Amino acid sequence: MEVGHSGYTTPDRLVVYHTPSIVCSSLPDKLIRLVAQPLLTRWLNNHLLKEAVVSLRKDLPLAAFTYVDVYSVKYELISRAKKHGFVHPLRACCGHGGKYNYNSEHGCGSKMKVNGKEIMVGKSCKDPSIMINWDGVHYTEAANKWVFDQIVNGSFSDPPIPLNMACHTQ
C-alpha cells in the first residue's frame, strides 16, 4: 500500500517518514486508517501523534511502535551546531550570494555570463563535512549521517532504544 510521498509499506511493516515520527508495526486496519489519511503530515502534530502511538500500544500490545522525534533531532543539530562539529548552520555549502550563500536563481552548480564568458558561481564550499546545509534546501551527507546516528541509537525515540531493537515480530 502506497502512502503518497509520506511513507511506504511492505506486506508486514509500515514505515512513515517525512513526519515527526517513524512507526513500525504489523498492519492492523486501525493503523492503516490512522496513517493513510490524506494530509496526515499537515494536521497531526507531535503531541497528537504521541497520543495515537500510546493508544495503539494499548490496543495492539503485540505490536512494536517506536516514536522518533525527528524535529527535535534536527533542532538539536542546528541550534548546537558547533557542539556537534559543524559551523554556520544556516549557510549553504554550495550556492551563491548573500549572508546564507543562497540565491534561488543561482543555486549549486549554476553559471553566469560575465563579459561574455561563462563562469561557475554556485560552487561548493571547501569542506562539506563541517556544514549542515548543502544547497539551501538539503542537508549535507555529514549532517544527514549525524541525524541518522541519533535516530538509530534511540536518543530521540520513545521508547528510548536503538531502532534495531524497536521492531520485533512474534
30 plus 79 within the same structural domain: no
Residue 78 lies in a domain: yes
127 occurs within a structural domain: yes
Q: Are residues 91 and 131 in the same domain?
A: yes
In sequence order, the 6+-apart residues with CB closer than 8 A to the CB of 20 are 45, 46, 49, 68, 69, 70, 71
Residue 156 in any domain: the answer is: yes
Residue 1 in any domain: the answer is no
Domain count, the chain: 2
* pLDDT value, residue 62: 85
Separation CA 156–CA 57 (nearest Å): 18
pLDDT of residue 86: 98
Do residues 40 and 77 both lie within one domain?
no
Let me know whether 60 and 115 are in one domain: no
Q: What is the pLDDT along the chain (170 residues), one digit of tens a residue?
A: 233 333 333 334 444 443 333 333 344 444 444 444 444 444 456 777 888 888 999 999 888 888 888 888 998 999 999 999 999 999 999 999 889 999 888 899 999 899 999 999 999 999 999 999 999 999 999 999 999 999 999 999 888 988 888 765 44
User: Is residue 29 included in any domain, yes or no?
Assistant: yes
Kind and range of the H or E element at 57? helix 46-59
**Same-domain status, 79 and 62:** no
The reported pTM is: 0.68
* Cα(51)–Cα(68) distance, integer angstroms: 13
User: Quick one: 97 and 59 in the same domain?
Assistant: no
| Within a domain: 91 | yes
What pLDDT does residue 105 have?
Answer: 87
- Tell me if 2 is assigned to some domain: no
User: 39 lies in which domain range?
Assistant: 7-70+149-165
Secondary structure (DSSP) of 76-137: HHHHTTGGGT-EEEEEESSB-STTTT--TTS-TT-EEEETTEEEE-SBPPS-GGGEEESSSS
pLDDT value for 28: 47
Residues 114 and 63 in one domain: no
The verdict on residue 36 lying in a domain is yes
Same-domain status, 60 and 26: yes
